[in-house]
Amino acid sequence: MIVANHTSMTDIMLMLAVVRNPFVFVGKKELSKIPLFGFFYKRTCILVDRNSSRSKNEVFKMAQDRLHQGLSICIFPEGGVPDDETILLDEFKDGAFRLAIDHQIPIVPIVFADNKERFSYTFLSGSPGKMRIKILPFIETKGLTIENRKSLRDEVRQLVYRGLLEFKKKKNQNI
């Protein structure tokens, strides 16, 4: 289970460039309406309608099928990019952690440090530069049960949050 903070339109492309194992994204259905991008998106992702509990349950079934096929799953657990760009890391939703526990697969936390600055969702914003990432140590889920879901979610969020703060601190030291 691959999880990362979600800050930019470049997150998907950077994830594809960084992760070498075959994986499939779980992503919001609305993105399938974007011309050209949507054509490929809906053929390569598990789409979720975040307003439908039925859709969320179907996502779990489709993800289980992909896991049984040997694919990894990538979820941005914030559930989307926060509208408020001052938010460093939004709250995590449970889905990725529930799936990881159900299948007893490790979680691979990834920190995207600069994507928001390089190419945010604000029109005509961004700047050229490095896009630093850090793949954190895997977190095992063997032996965990569904009751551990929230503590696992919070642990992973704290790791990603500390990673973001670390990158921010390094950047400020280099100025």
CA gap 71, 130 in Å, rounded: 29
Q: pLDDT tens for residues 63-88? A: 989 998 999 999 999 987 777 778 88
Residue with tokens 């029109």: 123
SS3 content of the chain, % helix, strand, coil (to 5): 45, 15, 40
Q: Is the pLDDT of residue 124 over 70?
A: no
**Which CATH architecture does the domain made up of 2-174 adopt?**
3-Layer(aba) Sandwich (3.40)
H helix runs in the chain, sequence order: 11-18, 37-44, 53-68, 95-103, 115-118, 149-174
Helices (H) and strands (E) in the chain, counts: 6, 6
Domain ranges of the chain: 2-174
pTM tops 0.75, yes or no: yes
Q: pLDDT-derived band of residue 175, with 50, 70 and 90 as boundaries?
A: low
132-to-68, 87, 115, 151, 168 alpha-carbon distances in Å: 32, 19, 8, 28, 11
Q: Is the pLDDT of residue 126 over 80?
A: no
Q: Is the pLDDT of residue 22 over 70?
A: yes
